[in-house]
Amino acid sequence: MSTFKSIAVAGAQSAIGKAIVLTLAATPGVSVLVLTRATTARPEYLPENVAHAGIDYADVDATAAILSEHSVQVVISSVNSVAILGQISLADAAKAAGVKLFVPSEYGCISKGLPEVPSFLQVKIQVADHLQSIGLPSMRVFPGIFQEYLELVVGFGTNKKVNILSSVKGDTPFSTTSMDDVGGFVAHVVTHHPLSALADKAVRIEGERRVTLNELGAVLGAPVEKVDVIPAPEGVSGMFFLDQLQTLVEKGYLNTETKLVDGDGSGGANGLWEGHRWTTLKETLKL
């Protein structure tokens, strides 16, 4: 079985990016190249055995030359939500350099086969469509909600309550996964499974057997309150997506079971990380 040995990671300073890089760097026989924006210095946390290159995302030829120089076989991206569309030129560079697999920055709600697309997911779908159109195989990873973000999703930090939208019943189970497990999973599968097992797969994982929004009351030891808008932390704007997110949770788009179309990853893929003990929600929340 031939597995990948040379991997580039963009967005390596996100929490999952760090977990991906550190796991890859500790994997024998694997070489790792971290791509940052040209304006970003080499991240201080990088182990010595990890190479670094600053790139202009828009310069496809120059990025392709760097990827070729390092014989990169897989590009993994964990860039943040404002940088999603920059992955289109990164994908073009990867294709030109002969990269075999591209893992785009997804890591949330499933984005394959949705009957209606919330605004914050549109750019991720644009990237997925682009990868398909240029014939670069991709793997899209959907871990539900990061366990570290769960309190934010119900506005718990704002008023110590589990705030659930009035329009949402709150009884649909959803998946949660710790950020270290998301990163560890991505690093593990690209170094332990062949391209045929990963190419053009939608992969749903979960660290914890599913929980519901209503059950979070018991988990956090807090009252559940129905609200018209999820309260955002003071001074933080752009939190409208929390309302969209709860609505998507209600529809079952953040669990491993809800089937929308063939090949949407329903059924789950935890088994690809053989023998791993996944971190539970209570462990992450230190409850």
Ligand X SMILES: NC(=O)c1ccc[n+]([C@@H]2O[C@H](COP(=O)([O-])OP(=O)(O)OC[C@H]3O[C@@H](n4cnc5c(N)ncnc54)[C@H](OP(=O)(O)O)[C@@H]3O)[C@@H](O)[C@H]2O)c1
Chain contacts with ligand X (rule: CB under 6 A): 11-15, 17, 36-37, 40, 57, 78-83, 86, 105, 107-108, 145-146, 149
Closer by beta carbon to ligand X, 4 or else 107? 107
Report in angstroms how near the CB of residue 2 gets to ligand X at its nearest: 29
Report in angstroms how near the CB of residue 279 gets to ligand X at its nearest: 14
Handedness of CA 100, 195, 187, 139 (dihedral sign): positive
At 286, the amino acid letter reads K
Report in angstroms how near the CB of residue 1 gets to ligand X at its nearest: 29
Report in angstroms how near the CB of residue 142 gets to ligand X at its nearest: 8
Report in angstroms how near the CB of residue 29 gets to ligand X at its nearest: 25
Give the count of beta carbons closer than 10 Å to the beta carbon of residue 255: 23
Report in angstroms how near the CB of residue 100 gets to ligand X at its nearest: 22
Closer by beta carbon to ligand X, 3 or else 52? 52
- Based on its alpha-carbon atoms, the radius of gyration of the chain, rounded to whole angstroms, reads 19
* Distance in angstroms (rounded) separating the CA atoms of residues 78 and 86: 12
Report in angstroms how near the CB of residue 194 gets to ligand X at its nearest: 25
For every residue of the chain, DSSP letters joined together read -----EEEEESTTSHHHHHHHHHHHTSTT-EEEEEEETTSPPPTT--TTEEEEEE-TT-HHHHHHHHHHTT--EEEE---GGGGGGHHHHHHHHHHTT--EEE-S--SS--SS-SS--HHHHHHHHHHHHHHHTT--BEEEE--EEGGGHHHHTTHHHHSSEEEETT----S-EEEE-HHHHHHHHHHHHHHS-HHHHTTEEEE--SEEEE-TTTHHHHHT--EEEESSPPPPTT---TTHHHHHHHHHHTTTTSS----STTS-TT--GGGSTT--PPPHHHHHT-
Report in angstroms how near the CB of residue 62 gets to ligand X at its nearest: 15
